[in-house]
A and B are shown apart, each in its own frame.
Chain A
Amino acid sequence: MLSRNEILQTIEMIDQQHLDIRTVTMGISLLDCAHPDAKESCRRIYDKITRLAEKLVATGEDIEREFGIPIVNKRISVTPISLVAGSSDAESYVCFAETLDAAAKTCGVNFIGGFSALVQKGFTVGDRRLIASIPEALAATELVCASVNVGSTRAGIDMDAVRLMGETIKKTAALTADRHGFGCAKLVVFANAVEDNPFMAGAFHGVGEPECVINVGVSGPGVVSHALQKCKGEPFDVVAETVKRTAFRITRMGQLVAREASQRLGVPFGIVDLSLAPTPAVGDSVADILEEIGLARVGTHGTTAALALLNDAVKKGGVMASSHVGGLSGAFIPVSEDAGMIRAAAGGTLTLDKLEAMTCVCSVGLDMIAVPGTTSAETVAAIIADEAAIGVVNNKTTAVRIIPVPGMDVGDTVDFGGLLGSAPVMPVHEESSAGFVARGGRIPAPLHSLRN
Chain B
Amino acid sequence: MKAIVTVIGKDQVGIIARVCQLLAGCGVNILDISQTVMQEYFTMIMLVDTEGCSEPFAELAQRLREEGERGGLDIRMQREDIFNAMHRI
Q: A7-B45, A8-B43 are in contact. Are A67 and B79 (CB under 8 A)?
A: yes
Q: A10-B86, A10-B87, A252-B86 are in contact. Are A67 and B81 (CB under 8 A)?
A: yes
Q: A7-B45, A8-B43 are in contact. Are A65 and B85 (CB under 8 A)?
A: no
Cβ-based interface call for B84 (8 A)? yes
Q: Is the CB of A2 within 8 A of B57?
A: no
Cβ-based interface call for A256 (8 A)? yes
Distance (whole angstroms) from the CB of B7 to the closest CB of chain A: 11
Interface residues of B (CB under 8 A from A): 4, 6, 8, 34, 36, 43, 45, 57-58, 61-62, 76-87, 89
Contact of A65 (CB < 8 Å), options: B4, B58, B83, B87? B58
Q: Is the CB of A10 within 8 A of B43?
A: no
Q: A7-B4, A66-B58, A66-B78 are in contact. Are A2 and B85 (CB under 8 A)?
A: no
Residues of A within 8 A of B84 (CB): 2
Cβ-based interface call for A439 (8 A)? no
Cβ-based interface call for A105 (8 A)? no
Q: Is the CB of B4 within 8 A of A2?
A: yes
Cβ-based interface call for A39 (8 A)? no
Of the candidates A10, A62, A320, the one having the most CB atoms from chain B within 10 angstroms of its own CB is: A10
Residues of A within 8 A of B86 (CB): 6, 10, 249, 252-253
Cβ-based interface call for A68 (8 A)? yes
Q: A10-B86, A68-B76, A249-B87 are in contact. Are A4 and B61 (CB under 8 A)?
A: no
Q: A10-B87, A11-B76 are in contact. Are A4 and B82 (CB under 8 A)?
A: no
Tell me, in angstroms, the Cα distance from A151 to B81 when the chains sit together.
42
Q: A4-B34, A7-B4 are in contact. Are A69 and B87 (CB under 8 A)?
A: no
Distance (whole angstroms) from the CB of B68 to the closest CB of chain A: 13
Q: Is the CB of A65 within 8 A of B61?
A: yes
What string of 1s and 0s marks CB contacts (under 8 Å) between A300-344 and chain B? 000000000000000000001000000000000000000000000
Q: A7-B6, A11-B76 are in contact. Are A256 and B58 (CB under 8 A)?
A: no
What string of 1s and 0s marks CB contacts (under 8 Å) between A47-82 and chain B? 000000000000000100111110000000000000
Distance (whole angstroms) from the CB of A85 to the closest CB of chain B: 41
Q: Which of A9-26 contact B (CB under 8 A)?
A: 9-11
Judged by DSSP, the binding face of B is mixed
Residues of B within 8 A of A6 (CB): 83, 86-87
Contact of B83 (CB < 8 Å), options: A10, A62, A255? A10
Residues of A within 8 A of B82 (CB): 10, 67-69, 253, 256
Residues of B within 8 A of A8 (CB): 6, 43, 45
Residues of A within 8 A of B83 (CB): 2, 6-7, 10
Instruction: Jot down 10 A-B pairs with beta carbons below 8 A, ordered by A.
Output: A4-B36, A7-B4, A7-B45, A8-B6, A66-B57, A66-B79, A69-B82, A249-B86, A252-B86, A255-B85
Q: Is the CB of A62 within 8 A of B58?
A: yes
Q: Is the CB of B87 within 8 A of A2?
A: yes
Residues of A within 8 A of B80 (CB): 2
Q: Is the CB of B61 within 8 A of A256?
A: no
Q: Is the CB of A4 within 8 A of B45?
A: yes
Tell me, in angstroms, the Cα distance from A116 to B82 when the chains sit together.
36
Distance (whole angstroms) from the CB of A436 to the closest CB of chain B: 50
Given contacts A2-B87, A68-B77, A255-B85, 14 further A-B contacts (CB under 8 A): A2-B4, A4-B43, A4-B45, A6-B86, A8-B43, A10-B86, A11-B8, A65-B58, A66-B57, A66-B58, A66-B78, A249-B86, A249-B87, A253-B86
